[in-house]
Structure 1
Amino acid sequence: MQCPPLQPAVLVKRYKRFLADVQLPHGEIITVHCPNTGAMTGCAEPGSQVWLSTSDNPKRKYRHTWELAQSPAGHWVGIHSAKANALVVEAIEQGVISPLQGYAQLRTELKYGDENSRIDIHLATEQGEQCFVEVKSVTLLAQPDTGLGVFPDAVSARGSKHIRELMAVKQQGHRAVLFFCVQHSGITSVAPADLIDSVYAQTFREAMAAGVEVLAYGAELNQHEVRLSSALPVIAQQDR
């Protein structure tokens, strides 16, 4: 996925979840939109280099959107979590994600399940076989020395609900996939975040035991392009 023209800035602070103050190269401090509802642990350190897109929409209160960050260790991080779905769709269509090839139809945001959910990606063959794919953006590098990334970065009742929905469609005889879209160049493996959300982690393991597939792919990121490139290991249970 090609990035729109991005301009550099330095992060001053992130606050109220959706806002951040940044300093532009010439010294001006402005407020920008932060498109990430998570805790952003390790991704929002004051003084970090950030990259902003610009909108010409006159109805927007804040013209700039925070798209990328560079951690103090020099890792690139895609903080625009809503773009994870588009990255996965692009990678499927380009044949990057081999386990999700062979489907004739791809739809997004399809209503399904008993808990009023929308599946991120729905795949179907010409014979009517269905595959439900729930996408999660991973940006929390929990163990810098090993490259272990975890999800979620904050307690997520919604995340657990999505896993339960995947278990239900699996029980109905369909294919169910939890897909970790890793938008952090320092992450080389992924695990559920037991220490942050033990309920999610336990539901995750129950889903794997029930036949829900878990895939993780890492992204190559810079200020010009973000794209998924290779599969990463998934660790269901970390050693205590």
Structure 2
Amino acid sequence: MNINLKKATLIKRYKRFLADIILEDGIETTIHVANTGAMTGCATADDTVWYSTSDNKKRKYPYSWEITQTQNDHFICVNTLRANELVEEALTNKTINELRNYKNLRREVKYGDENSKIDFLLTDENDVETYIEVKSVTLLGNGPKSTQGYFPDAVTLRGQKHLRELMQMKQQGHRAILLFAVLHSGIESVMAAQHIDAKYAELLSQAMQQGVEVIAYKVSFDKAVSNIKMSLVEPLTVKLVENVTDEPKKRVKYIDSP
């Protein structure tokens, strides 16, 4: 995925979908933020914002925040809409090892008892169905040397529902997969954020015990002058919740994570 981007400096993010930035020519303006999560560690004042520009004249805010370049030089794709696009591209290019053998791909298919839509439904040559739920991971653990990533970054009722739906699909004899799309260059492994959403961590453990597959793939960032190429190519380890030892034992109440 190639995106033409321009740079700016972050002033602050606010009201969920808005942020103020300083453009390279010194002008201050407001930008759209396609992320309902807490964006912890992804929105620090003076970070570099890489933004795209829409040619839709009806948009109030033509600029969209795509990537954060932190002061530690980490790259983070904060536009959660990109996660599914990156996964679909990887599925098409057969770069996800666990998901190479399929015949048909469908998006946003209704399923389950809780009125959900699966991100991707794959069917193989034998008509076996694989249900794939995608979650974007951008939360890096505490400490300057941490490489541990966590999901979610906020209490997520939607995420809990999706785990229940995946377990139901597995019980019905289908293949069910939770795919963590890791959109942070500094993350090297993924773990449920028990210190943020204990219920989600509990459900994830149940899902894994019942045979729901949990995999993680990390995005690579290839930066040119006004273009950043992103691709989901590197498999990462998903660790068990019980390994959490270095994170604060507190719950974070915030807007629901995607």
- TM-score interval w.r.t. the shorter chain? over 0.9
| Aligned match of 1:64 | 63
| Aligned match of 1:174 | 174
1:118 pairs with 2:117: yes
Q: CA RMSD in A?
A: 0.9
CA distance in structure 2 between the partners assigned to 1:236 and 1:110 by the alignment:
29
CA distance in structure 2 between the partners assigned to 1:129 and 1:26 by the alignment:
55
CA distance in structure 1 between the partners assigned to 2:36 and 2:84 by the alignment:
15
Q: Which runs of 4+ in 1 moved over 4 A?
A: none
Amino acid at match of 1:99: E
C-alpha spacing 1:235/1:47, structure 2 compared with 1 (3 Å): same
| Aligned match of 1:230 | 234
CA distance in structure 2 between the partners assigned to 1:226 and 1:50 by the alignment:
16
Unaligned runs of 5+ in 1: none
TM-score (norm 2): 0.91
Amino acid at match of 1:224: I
CA distance in structure 1 between the partners assigned to 2:99 and 2:137 by the alignment:
19
Amino acid at match of 2:228: H
1:47-86 counterparts in 2 under 5 A?
47-86=46-85
CA distance in structure 1 between the partners assigned to 2:233 and 2:194 by the alignment:
27
Listed one character per residue, the Cα deviations across residues 44-64 of structure 1 (whole Å, up to 9, x for unaligned) are 001000111011111101010
| Aligned match of 1:195 | 195
CA distance in structure 1 between the partners assigned to 2:229 and 2:26 by the alignment:
27
1:137-156 counterparts in 2 under 5 A?
137-143=136-142, 144-156=144-156
Deviation, 1:2, is 1.0
Listed one character per residue, the Cα deviations across residues 100-138 of structure 1 (whole Å, up to 9, x for unaligned) are 011000111011000000000100013210000000000
Listed one character per residue, the Cα deviations across residues 13-43 of structure 1 (whole Å, up to 9, x for unaligned) are 0000100000001110000100100000000
Deviation, 1:92, is 1.2
CA distance in structure 2 between the partners assigned to 1:140 and 1:85 by the alignment:
18
CA distance in structure 2 between the partners assigned to 1:138 and 1:147 by the alignment:
12
CA distance in structure 2 between the partners assigned to 1:24 and 1:176 by the alignment:
44
TM-score (norm 1): 0.97
Deviation, 1:176, is 0.3
Higher relative CO (Cα under 8 Å, sequence separation at least 6) belongs to: 2
CA distance in structure 2 between the partners assigned to 1:81 and 1:131 by the alignment:
22
CA distance in structure 2 between the partners assigned to 1:165 and 1:190 by the alignment:
21
CA contact (8 A) 2:107 2:120 kept: yes
More divergent stretch after superposition (156-165 vs 119-128) = 119-128
